[in-house]
Structure 1
């Protein structure tokens, strides 16, 4: 059980951030979440699993920061914190309203870089923080060509670094990948240049799937996060464009974030989170999982076995992560079961 050290958490209204919040609270941390509006903060406080914990305002509170990229945005938010977990980041639209291509650089790359460096500056001013944990992505240390099926058999790990793609960006994922490169490279350059009293750990997941409590309708699941891509396949979508097969369960990703706060874990390092061994998983294996565990849903048409999604094999070694955190990353089968179960609960006749 953790002590009641104060953790400041950004991105708690997001998929990974909310699960990280729950795990941090159950581990015994006090948490101050950073939200963009009071209504978003209230939504978190009213979430079922949060209310079940019967928390006081000392244990869980929120602070509003409308513009995370503004200079000094986090100055007040991180005061008196012992740890900071930074999950907030612009993500691809996944069906929601997307920025137009001419705005990709500002929306993804510049916002990510400014928010990350600005947060580090605020933490230095606060003077109390021992460690910051930042959500990155394997898109931050693997060239984009690998994710679309044009790579080779090179094995990547958390130590790989790549240069920033300067754009222009033709698709959202290209801009998103560039944002992760920009934030990662900028954060590590800032740490080297400033040699602060705190250390930095970066977490690099691939696709993240699983139950999302903040999604309370099928429409939420179909548009709100990376889950929408897997769910689309489970509902029979057909695609000829390969996608990387590096996936992880949201519970594992969140657990690694919280476990990384342990002072026994050496700072100033990075960890990838990708299950199913070095070669990852095959997307269409999800259909076999549905056949095995959800035959009734196939029979009534809520799920389908006709989906098509080729896989781009990107070789990623997460052995260091499993060894350091004494965790066996959950299989793709577990990820599919977690998401499909929630979807079917929301579509009960």
Structure 2
């Protein structure tokens, strides 16, 4: 029997998942988080936002799944669930190169496929699930050569689909992109073929930036989440490797996941989570933002204007997302300020 409002959430210990959890509880969902260990569950339960909400055992519970790739791994976790949000995913170290192609397949490609399809299979078995929301990425539907500056002026939408990059992979990021493409394409194909009693929505964010409650020391900003990349640039890092800037505020990305559970949003479709217009922003725009808003931090050396990061323009059209969900995604300016405000608060503390 279904709990009329039971959401099963993976990735609650991560940057995005932790924010999704807070919004889900505030929206009135009872949430069952999937974690790999009791210590990770305790980390979630002890987060300031969760302690402030003080949820009951019914409102917030957890289930342990040590290996999500095992067939049937989610069967027990999804019993009685009405909704599922899958945020968990292996994250690349942004530039790290692993020694073997086998590593890429074992760490990125195969887990993405097995976990995603396994989750859908278990959702069907449960018989009570009405909607599954999966965190994808813009790297799932933009050919990887575009991120190497080898693209054209093509405009990408949430409906764009590409074949899975078979490799060999030159970096973790390329393998991560291939894993996201595989998960997106195969999950949509699975739903089309099996016609389960639930529908599927995929959210495709770009860079996710903004305040991270899980970062409580200056060192946390250097090793946790995608924030580390933007903050390194704002602290003077020098890079010759060009990168794109398509991005979304963490709060907005989490909000999209929760709103996507509403049956008023038609299912079996995808949405880009990228702010600003299709022409995007430059990395150097972040320097202008900190010059305008944080002159004292620059004077003290906490932020620097000497960062170097060439920009690649990839044209991403998220107009459908804003029209469907009914709100404007916060732009690059707000994303930078959200992150920097928190970073400076932590430094001060």
User: What is the TM-score normalised by the length of structure 2?
Assistant: 0.97
Partners of 1:81 and 1:280 in 2: CA distance: 39
Partner of 2:217: 217
Say if 1:20 and 1:255, in contact at 8 Å, map to a contact too: yes
Say if 1:4 and 1:28, in contact at 8 Å, map to a contact too: no
Shift of 1:200: 0.2
Q: Secondary structure at the match of 1:244?
A: coil
Alignment of 1:35-74 (within 5 A): 35-74=35-74
Q: Where in structure 1 do 4 or more consecutive aligned residues deviate above 3 Å?
A: 97-102
1:158 maps onto 2:158 in alignment: yes
Alignment of 1:123-134 (within 5 A): 123-134=123-134
Say if 1:247 and 1:281, in contact at 8 Å, map to a contact too: no
Say if 2:97 and 2:171, in contact at 8 Å, map to a contact too: no
Say if 1:203 and 1:272, in contact at 8 Å, map to a contact too: yes
Q: Secondary structure at the match of 1:122?
A: helix
User: What is the TM-score normalised by the length of structure 1?
Assistant: 0.97
Partner of 1:202: 202
Partner of 2:348: 348
CA RMSD in angstroms, aligned pairs only: 1.4
Q: Secondary structure at the match of 2:219?
A: helix
Shift of 1:279: 1.4
Alignment of 1:162-311 (within 5 A): 162-311=162-311
Say if 1:274 and 1:280, in contact at 8 Å, map to a contact too: no
Say if 1:23 and 1:254, in contact at 8 Å, map to a contact too: yes
Assess, with a 3 A threshold, how the Cα gap between structure 1 residues 4 and 337 changes in structure 2: closer, same or farther. Answer: farther
Uncovered stretches (5+) of structure 2, i.e. residues with no partner:
none
Shift of 1:227: 0.5
Cα offsets for 1:238-274 (capped at 9, x unmatched): 1111111201101111000000000111000000011
Partners of 1:65 and 1:230 in 2: CA distance: 32
Shift of 1:59: 0.2
Shift of 1:101: 3.5
Shift of 1:148: 2.0
Say if 1:104 and 1:175, in contact at 8 Å, map to a contact too: yes
Q: Secondary structure at the match of 2:348?
A: coil
Partner of 1:139: 139
Cα offsets for 1:84-131 (capped at 9, x unmatched): 000011111259x98544301110010011000000000011000000
Partners of 2:145 and 2:168 in 1: CA distance: 16
Shift of 1:169: 1.2
Say if 2:136 and 2:184, in contact at 8 Å, map to a contact too: yes
Say if 1:169 and 1:175, in contact at 8 Å, map to a contact too: yes
Say if 1:4 and 1:29, in contact at 8 Å, map to a contact too: no
Cα offsets for 1:134-161 (capped at 9, x unmatched): 0000100010111121111110000001
Partners of 1:24 and 1:327 in 2: CA distance: 18
Partners of 1:327 and 1:178 in 2: CA distance: 31
Shift of 1:4: 6.1
Say if 1:94 and 1:225, in contact at 8 Å, map to a contact too: no
Partners of 2:128 and 2:98 in 1: CA distance: 37
Q: Secondary structure at the match of 2:213?
A: coil
